[in-house]
Structure 1
């Protein structure tokens, strides 16, 4: 299903996106050496419920997971890159953390992810991975103009990641959002320009480039959810929800202040 939202619904999506961004920034500030991943999940739960919003993850049970997910946020550390299931683990100095959050407020979903390094140690490899995903995300957003096609976004994201020296996995990528979290169209993190669904005002997309330092192959943890690099290398993940407008793309998942 591909939803085209009304201006009123897009405005509600902007409110949802600001809430997602505010929660992620709060969690980033509170995440330190010694923080437990279950505490991060608990903090996310409290902020979501206090805002009168709904988690998109607690009851999430897709075919590729061992569902329901049962938690409020994805917490992926170091070699874990996607769908990290919160568990009893404390963060150490230099850990590369990715937090992925999707919530619904007023009937509209927004989805975003950030990656950052905890503590005083800031390894160059970790920072390069994060920068590559952020630059690829910016390239995808720049390409998201009315009249463009999904392949144009995928091409912009993929060429940026490849120029930084990384191979690209296209199994998991961006997606449409609206009244639900995962919708068509799929936005692969590499692709051919001029192909795919044409962008239209009112379309909401979650763009999410992610990379692994030396592989494009994933393995799944015994928990049935957490996806890791097959080689144990470091990973990073960045994501924004955008709305296609008459003039270009508007980022919805920006902090409220």
Structure 2
């Protein structure tokens, strides 16, 4: 059952989402060749707690860390390790925060130093997929309209759209109804109504859409070991239109300051 949110609840959720946004901004400052995902995890955990939130992923379904770091062919759910990031890597950082009993959850895929042009294009197109999905989140549409827009844009560029993992409703639980696939047909799925809040999160692969889960029970990788990208926003339907509760502003400011790749 979909739980539609009041304006007051949406404003509370915006607080949680903005802590995630600011934490991703800190990640943007810190990500460079030589830093380890474990170091990022520690920094993020402390920042979230210092800003009145709780790291939402820690212990969720027994997940062992505070953030998710998915490197190169890792699509999502990568567990932070002590392997230093290297020049040319990409790392998707997915962060969840619980504050005032409501969740925020969003993600950004970062370039580590200079990256290949084809990988840069993958990141740019995946971020565009997110924007195109958000545009469809209006009263009168269905979830399938959003899903179709994401799939069409990715596949028009020859990329694979992951089927096994999807976006989701968000609220007092991290994962609520409805599911928000990144593939689908127009006119299908739940009707979009006022007060809907969802996490839209395209997961787009440079090659095949097929994925494999590693033996750690968490990490999902591309079957052909080609890079994958993941961007995510929390979006509410307010006055019939999409209102993005999270923001990439802090990420972009940090990347611009260090002259890093901005997609």
**Which category of TM-score, normalised to the shorter sequence, fits these structures?**
over 0.9
**CA offset digits 1:157-184 (Å, max 9, x no partner):** 1111111111222210111001111111
Query: Normalising to structure 1: TM-score of the pair?
Result: 0.94
Aligned length: 250
Q: Secondary structure at the match of 1:158?
A: helix
CA distance in 2 between partners of 1:219 and 1:28 (Å): 28
1:238 and 2:234 correspond: no
* CA shift for structure 1 position 256: 7.3
1:81 and 2:100 correspond: no
Partner of 2:58: 58
Partner of 1:99: 93
Partner of 1:181: 174
For the aligned residue pairs, the C-alpha RMSD in angstroms reads: 1.2
Question: Post-superposition, which runs of at least 4 consecutive aligned residues in structure 1 deviate over 6 A?
Answer: none
CA distance in 2 between partners of 1:142 and 1:203 (Å): 14
Partner of 2:257: none
Matching residue within 217, 226, 230 for 1:224: 217
CA distance in 2 between partners of 1:169 and 1:78 (Å): 15
**Residues 19, 256 of structure 1: 8 Å contact kept:** no
1:37 and 2:37 correspond: yes
Partner of 2:247: 254
CA distance in 1 between partners of 2:36 and 2:202 (Å): 26
1:105-116 alignment, distance < 5 Å? 105-116=99-110
**Residues 146, 245 of structure 1: 8 Å contact kept:** no
Partner of 1:166: 159
**Residues 20, 95 of structure 2: 8 Å contact kept:** yes
CA distance in 2 between partners of 1:83 and 1:184 (Å): 20
Q: Secondary structure at the match of 1:216?
A: coil
CA distance in 1 between partners of 2:162 and 2:115 (Å): 26
Query: Normalising to structure 2: TM-score of the pair?
Result: 0.92
**Greater shift in the superposed pair: 90-99 or 104-113:** 104-113
1:7 and 2:1 correspond: no
* CA shift for structure 1 position 247: 3.6
1:187-206 alignment, distance < 5 Å? 187-206=180-199
Partner of 2:256: none
* CA shift for structure 1 position 222: 2.1
CA distance in 1 between partners of 2:248 and 2:156 (Å): 29
